[in-house]
């Protein structure tokens, strides 16, 4: 069996398969289906400083090979997480990584400061790319100066591994990655959802209450691979790739394009055990191609 462990900055993962924020809850619901201890890591549902009810229903539209969502960061706030959820998940033998959101830089700092105190959260994912909130979110992630400002501010109050989650809704993703690398990010994760919309022609109305939402699923995989490749070539920090990964072959493609680790997202909605099947499939691929470790695949695309 090949070696599956990888490193993101100085954080070692037992394998490179993690689950994406917003597609796995806080892991608790999934214990009925899989052993969480087998995952490389869990990027838990996005957290904000205060309780958020999210956007109105309907928040989801199925599209060709994918779906749109406009959940809008529904969560009970960071204090509720620390008090009621963290104690239940902290002892799993997998990395619990918190996804941090805010409407203002002060929000991001406040949430991060609280997370910095949690022993069993070894990293945060700074979400500057949520397309479904009116304030903050993606607005920070679509211009270099604001991405730098928020990354820099959070870096100053966070001692552990800082991952910045990038938006694909930009002209030049490599420039964004370089900008946050310069501001102190230890890693970048990409891509968040692509801004899209769905229309009900019969009713002449938008499907989503918010009109627009974030597109995910296999429909976005080619875009995600292209962006991972561009970012991999532009920065020195490790890249965590995601976007439409449905099986082990998709995951391998992301490693070849330059991902050190991957996040499984929308696929969790169709098969709650898909992440573990992907780990098995990666192992089989490595054996079949005589690789000793998954690290040898990172950016190994032959061009």
Partner 1 sequence: MQKIVENHEVIETVHLNENSYVLRLKSPVEIPEIHPGNFAEIQVPDTMGVFLRRPFSILDVNYKNREISFYIKAIGSGTQKLGELQPGMQVNLIYPLGNRYTIPQGLKRALIVGGGTGIAPFILLGKELKEKGIETTFLIGGRTSKDILLTDKFSEYGTIEVTTEDGSMGEKGFVTSHSLFNRNDFPFEYVYTCGPDAMMKAVGHLVTQKGVVCEASLENMMACGYGICLCCVTPTVEGNKRVCYEGPVFNVSYLKWQN
Is residue 220 involved in binding partner 1 (CB under 8 A)?
Answer: no
Stretch that binds partner 1, among 28-36, 144-152, 170-178, 279-287 (CB under 8 A): 28-36
Buried b (16+ CB within 10 A) or exposed e, 22-50: bbbbbbeebeeebebebbbbbbbbbbbbe
Q: Indicate which single residue of 39, 67, 176, 235 sits in contact with partner 1 (rule: CB under 8 A).
A: 67
Is 293 noted as a catalytic residue in this protein? no
Is residue 174 involved in binding partner 1 (CB under 8 A)?
Answer: no
φ/ψ (deg, to 5) at 66: 175, -165
Q: Indicate which single residue of 10, 32, 117, 236 sits in contact with partner 1 (rule: CB under 8 A).
A: 32
Distances in Å between the Cα of 9 and the Cα atoms of 1, 6, 64, 124 are 24, 10, 36, 12
Q: Indicate which single residue of 199, 273, 293, 300 sits in contact with partner 1 (rule: CB under 8 A).
A: 273
Is residue 178 involved in binding partner 1 (CB under 8 A)?
Answer: no
Is residue 53 involved in binding partner 1 (CB under 8 A)?
Answer: yes
The Cβ of residue 85 has, within 10 Å, a number of other Cβ atoms equal to: 20
For residue 207, the minimal CB distance to partner 1 (Å) is: 9
Find tokens 């690398």 and name the residue: 181
Q: Are 58 and 205 in contact (CB under 8 A)?
A: no
Is residue 58 involved in binding partner 1 (CB under 8 A)?
Answer: yes
Residues within the interface to partner 1 (CB under 8 A): 22-25, 29-30, 32-33, 45, 51, 53-54, 56-60, 62-67, 69, 71, 74, 217, 266, 268-273
């Amino acid at each position: 069996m090949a070696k599956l462990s990888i490193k993101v900055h100085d954080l070692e993962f037992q394998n490179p398969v993690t689950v994406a924020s917003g597609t796995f809850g806080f892991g608790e619901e999934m214990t009925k289906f899989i052993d969480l201890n087998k995952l490389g890591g869990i990027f838990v549902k996005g957290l904000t400083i205060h309780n958020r009810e999210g956007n109105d229903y309907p928040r989801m539209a199925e599209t060709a090979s994918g779906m749109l969502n406009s959940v809008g960061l529904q969560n009970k706030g960071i204090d509720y997480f620390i008090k009621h959820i963290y104690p239940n998940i902290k002892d799993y033998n997998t990395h619990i990584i918190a996804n941090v959101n805010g409407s203002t830089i002060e929000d991001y700092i406040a949430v991060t400061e609280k997370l910095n105190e949690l022993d069993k959260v070894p990293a945060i994912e700074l979400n500057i790319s949520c397309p479904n909130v009116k304030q903050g979110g993606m607005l920070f992630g679509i211009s270099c100066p604001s991405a730098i400002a928020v990354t820099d501010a959070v870096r100053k109050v966070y001692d552990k591994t800082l991952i910045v989650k990038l938006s694909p809704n930009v002209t030049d993703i490599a420039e964004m990655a370089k900008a946050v690398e310069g501001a102190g990010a230890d890693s970048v994760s990409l891509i968040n959802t692509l801004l899209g919309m769905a229309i009900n022609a019969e009713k002449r109305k938008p499907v989503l209450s918010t009109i627009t939402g974030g597109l995910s699923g296999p429909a976005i995989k080619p875009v995600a691979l292209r962006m991972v490749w561009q970012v991999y070539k532009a920065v020195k920090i490790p890249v965590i790739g995601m976007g439409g990964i449905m099986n082990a072959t998709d995951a391998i493609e992301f490693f070849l394009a330059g991902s050190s680790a991957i996040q499984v997202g929308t696929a969790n909605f169709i098969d709650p055990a898909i992440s573990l099947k992907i780990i098995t499939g990666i192992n089989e691929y490595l054996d079949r191609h005589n690789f000793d470790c998954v690290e040898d695949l990172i950016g190994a695309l032959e061009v």
